[in-house]
Structure 1
Amino acid sequence: MVFMSHRTRLPSPSPSEPVRRVEAGPWLIELLPGCAYATRYVAAQSAIGFAFDSQRGLHAIGSDRVLPFDAIPDGLAFVPVGCDVLSESPQGGEYLRVLRTDGIALAGDRAFNNRIDLHATILARRMRSALLRGSVEDDWEAWALALAERTTQTATSSSPHSGSITGSRMRLLDEFIDAGLDGPLGVPVMAQLLGLSEGYFMRAFKSATGKSPHSYLIDRRLAKARALMRDSTATLTEIAYRCGFNSQAHMTTVFRQRLGVSPAQLRGSSRR
C-alpha cells in the first residue's frame, strides 16, 4: 500500500523478487517488490513512499477506522513521525520507500497518498532503475533530498468530477487489461468499457494518473511479465507473447527503456 514502514509478507507458494536497498549518508532507500502484505506500526520516523502500481486493500492511517483503499499508480505518499498505520493488501504492488536515518524529521505533519507529481515520478523511476541494476555509485543523497522536497509542495491535483477515472473505474480497467494482455488493447476499447468518449477518456486518465493510457498499458505489460518471470518456468519468449509484446526482443527493449535492465538480468537476480 502507499503508507508503509516494514511489510510483513504473507505466506506465498511462489518466490518474490528480493527487497533492494541502498544506504547513502543519512538516507535509506528501499525498493519493495509487489507481494501480499499486512503491517501495523507507529511511525518512528517520517517516510516517503512512491507506489509504481495500482494497489488495493484495507488501511487505517492516523485513525481507528479501517477502510478500503485504492492506490493509483505513480502516487507519491508521506507518513509523518508518530502516525499510527495499519495496512494490508492481498497483492500489493512495487513500492519505493525513502527514510532519513539520522534522527532529523522530514518536513510535514500530515499523511497523504495518491499525489501525482511529475518531478517525483521522474526521481522515483530513476531510483528504481538504479536499484534494479544494483548500482551504488549514483547520486542517491541528491535524489532522496529532491524527493523529500516534493512532499512539501502544495498538492495541485483537482478533486474527482463526474465521469472521471475514479478508484472503482480504475479497478475495472485493471481487471479488463490484465485479462486481455495477450491480445490487442487500445484507447477505443478502454474508453468504451467505461462508457466515455475517447477524447474525454484520454484527458481524464491523464489527469487521474499523470500518464497516458498507452504508457499505463505498457506498465501493466511489464508488471505481468515480471510476475510470470518470478512465478513460472515459462521461457522469456512465451512470457513476451502472453503479455502482448511482439517478440522477446520487443519485450527486452521495453524493459531496458523503462527499468534499465533486461528481462534475463532481472530474472537472474530474482533467482539468486
Structure 2
Amino acid sequence: MIRTVDLGPFRLSLLPSAPYCVHGASPTDTVGIALERQRGVHAIASDRRVDFDTLPYTLAVTPAGMAVYSESDVGGEYLLLSLPTDARDKAAVTSTRCITTGSKPVVAAARQARRAMLAGSDATGLALVIEQLALLAQPAPTAAQRRALQIAPQILDLIEDHLALPSLTLAFLASQSQLRPLDFLRAFVARFGITPHQYVLERRIQRARRLLQHTRLPIAQIAADCGFAQQSHLGMHFRRAFGLTPDRYRQFWR
C-alpha cells in the first residue's frame, strides 16, 4: 500500500516493502531515502543495467528528467519526496545524481515522516518534516563513510540472521568486524546515522510489522520471535516508531 501526501507543491510518498519495477523520468527533482535495504537491478541515466545493493538510510537526490530504471524482487520501504522547481537551489540539486550516507538529520526526518504518515498525523507536523527533508541534500560521502561501507553489507546480513537472539551486542558485532567496539560504533554511525543498537531495534520492529501484516500469530509470540523480552517491550518501541500499537496496526492493516 503506497501512502501519498500532497502539501502545497510537495508530494511525499511512502513506498512499501514489495516487489517493484519502475522505468521513466520524473518531471520534478526528487529526494529518496531508503528506510530498508534494497537489492535488484537498475540503470541510471543510461541503458546499462547493473546490480545494486542500497543500504538503509541512503539518500539519493535525482534531478528532473533523468531516466531511471529500477527493479527488485523484494523491494524495501522507501520515502520519496518530489520537490517544486523553486526548491532546487535550497536542496542543492545538480544535473547529476547525488548519493549521501550517514546523515543523522536525514535518518531522524525520514523516520519522523514515516511515523506521521502511518499514524495519520496532522498536515502541519508533516509539512515541517517535508521542509526539513527538502533541505537535506548533501555532498558525496566523506572518507570515513566510505571506509564504513566496507563492513556494512556483511554486518547487516549478520544482524538480519540473528534478530531473535539477545547476543546482538556492540561487543559481538564489533568482534565480527574485527574492530574495537568504539571504532565499530564510530564507523557504523558514520555510515547509517544511527547506532548499532538503534539499527537492531529498527530491524526487529520492522520484522514484527511484517508478521502482524501477514500472519495471525499472537503478538506475544511475535515479540519473542523478533528478539523482544516481553510483549510490552515490543509495544513500547512499535508505538514510538509507527504511532500505533501492534494490535491497532494489525486491525488497521486488515
* TM-score for both structures, normalised by structure 2: 0.89
Residue of structure 2 equivalent to 1:65: 48
How many matched pairs? 249
**Unaligned residue ranges in structure 1 (runs of 5+):** 1-17
Q: 1:119-268 counterparts in 2 under 5 A?
A: 119-151=105-137, 153-155=138-140, 157-158=142-143, 164-166=148-150, 169-184=151-166, 185-268=168-251
The offset of 1:82, in angstroms, is: 0.9
Change (3 A) 1:114 1:55: farther
Of 112-121 and 248-257, more deviation after overlay is shown by 112-121
Contact kept in structure 2, 1:37 and 1:90, CA below 8 Å: yes
Q: Could you list the per-position Cα deviations for residues 154-210 of structure 1 after superposition, in whole angstroms to 9, with x for gaps in the alignment?
A: 446336566x342xx433222222222121121222222223232221121111111
Aligned partner of 1:9 in structure 2 is: none
Q: Do 2:37 and 2:53's aligned partners in 1 also have CA atoms closer than 8 Å?
A: yes
Give distance in 2, aligned partners of 1:178 and 1:215. Answer: 14
CA RMSD of aligned residues (A): 2.1
User: Which residue of the partner structure matches residue 104 of structure 2?
Assistant: 118
Q: Distance in 2 between matches of 1:39 and 1:80?
A: 16
Deviation of 1:241 after TM superposition, in Å, equals 0.2
Aligned-residue offset at 1:221:
0.5
Do the aligned residues in 2 keep the contact of 1:78 with 1:112 (CA within 8 Å)?
yes
Gaps of 5+ in 2: none
Q: Is contact 1:71-1:114 (8 Å) kept?
A: no
Deviation readout 1:57-115 (Å, 9 max, x if unpaired): 22211122222222222222211111110112222211111114x66573422212343
**1:98/1:199 Cα in 2 relative to 1: closer, same or farther (>3 Å)?**
same
Counterpart CA distance in 2 for 1:61 and 1:139 is 33
The letter for the 2-side match of 1:222 is I
Secondary structure at 1:182 match in 2 = coil
- Comparing 75-84 and 119-128, the one that deviates more: 119-128
What is the TM-score when the length of structure 1 is the normalising length?
0.83
Contact in 1 for aligned 2:99/2:141 (Cα 8 Å):
no
* CA gap 1:105/1:197 in 2 versus in 1, 3 angstroms: closer
Is 1:89 aligned to 2:75, yes or no? Answer: no
Higher helix share goes to which structure? 2
Report the residue type matching 2:68 in the other structure. Answer: V
Given candidates 75, 79, 90, the residue that maps to 2:62 is 79
